[in-house]
A and B are shown apart, each in its own frame.
Chain A
Amino acid sequence: GQQVMQIPQYQHVQEGEDFTTYCNSSTTLSNIQWYKQRPGGHPVFLIQLVKSGEVKKQKRLTFQFGEAKKNSSLHITATQTTDVGTYFCAGQSNTGKLIFGQGTTLQVKP
């Protein structure tokens, strides 16, 4: 069945350093979504990418969707302590099923 792999599982950075998490799907996706879950909270939608090669930015966050629509990345520039949490990618196939990656937990040292 469809699988979405996400790496790394954990990342510890010093405040001000950059951070990147990568997502790979076993099948071509119709779109990919990114979510953030703060400790003790629920996942919150960040963004959706639909087009091949699409790049979107939200302030210090840059999201990319691969040309083959099978991989994606989230890059945070100059991390802050407010960026702490777990970042999930979620790939949607043509069947409509949304499959989440395992998530990358980001810790930021002040």
Chain B
Amino acid sequence: KAGVTQTPRYLIKTRGQQVTLSCSPISGHRSVSWYQQTPGQGLQFLFEYFSETQRNKGNFPGRFSGRQFSNSRSEMNVSTLELGDSALYLCASSLTGDHQPQHFGDGTRLSIL
């Protein structure tokens, strides 16, 4: 069974640009969550999608948005990039999200110049 796939693996952008990250969950998993990981802040929850609907949201500004498609694939968009957005963005999937293990992808490392 294929794991969670995130693309691209690495990305370099400049301030003010926007970026879209992609996540393909494990087949059959309908819940997809996104996290931002930085050395100082650990794993910060961005949002969770289930059946194409945002079910939970963390405390990030509106520049961070996401969506989920009917095949459960998810995308995350960050607009007007800032230097502080440099981080590893991790996607995790689970069957339904509640009381279930999260299966993480390898992440997209985003660097803002």
**B106 near A1 (CB under 8 angstroms)?**
no
Residues of B within 8 A of A41 (CB): 106
Closest CB in chain A relative to B98 CB, distance in Å: 6
Interface residue tally for chain A (C-beta within 8 Å): 24
Residues of B within 8 A of A101 (CB): 42
- Give which listed residue, B41, B99, B107, contacts A30 with CB less than 8 A: B99
Complex Cα distance A31/B44, Å?
18
Question: Contact string, B77-113, partner A, CB cutoff 8 A, digits 1/0?
Answer: 0000000000000101000011101111111000000
**A96 near B98 (CB under 8 angstroms)?**
yes
**A100 near B103 (CB under 8 angstroms)?**
no
Asked if B45 is at the interface of the complex by the 8 Å CB criterion, the answer is yes
**B45 near A97 (CB under 8 angstroms)?**
yes
Asked if A78 is at the interface of the complex by the 8 Å CB criterion, the answer is no
Interface residues of B (CB under 8 A from A): 33, 35, 41-45, 48, 55-56, 58-59, 90, 92, 97-99, 101-107
Asked if A33 is at the interface of the complex by the 8 Å CB criterion, the answer is yes
Asked if A13 is at the interface of the complex by the 8 Å CB criterion, the answer is no
Closest CB in chain A relative to B94 CB, distance in Å: 9
Interface residues of A (CB under 8 A from B): 1, 30-31, 33, 35, 41-45, 48, 50, 88, 90, 92, 95-103
Complex Cα distance A100/B105, Å?
16
Complex Cα distance A101/B44, Å?
9
- Residues A98 and B101 in contact in the complex (CB < 8 Å), given A1-B59, A42-B90: no
**A88 near B43 (CB under 8 angstroms)?**
yes
Residues of B within 8 A of A1 (CB): 59
Closest CB in chain B relative to A8 CB, distance in Å: 13
Known: A45-B102, A50-B99; 20 extra A-B contacts, CB below 8 A, are A1-B59, A35-B102, A42-B105, A43-B92, A44-B104, A48-B99, A88-B42, A92-B99, A95-B56, A96-B48, A97-B56, A97-B58, A98-B33, A98-B48, A98-B102, A100-B43, A100-B44, A100-B45, A101-B42, A103-B43
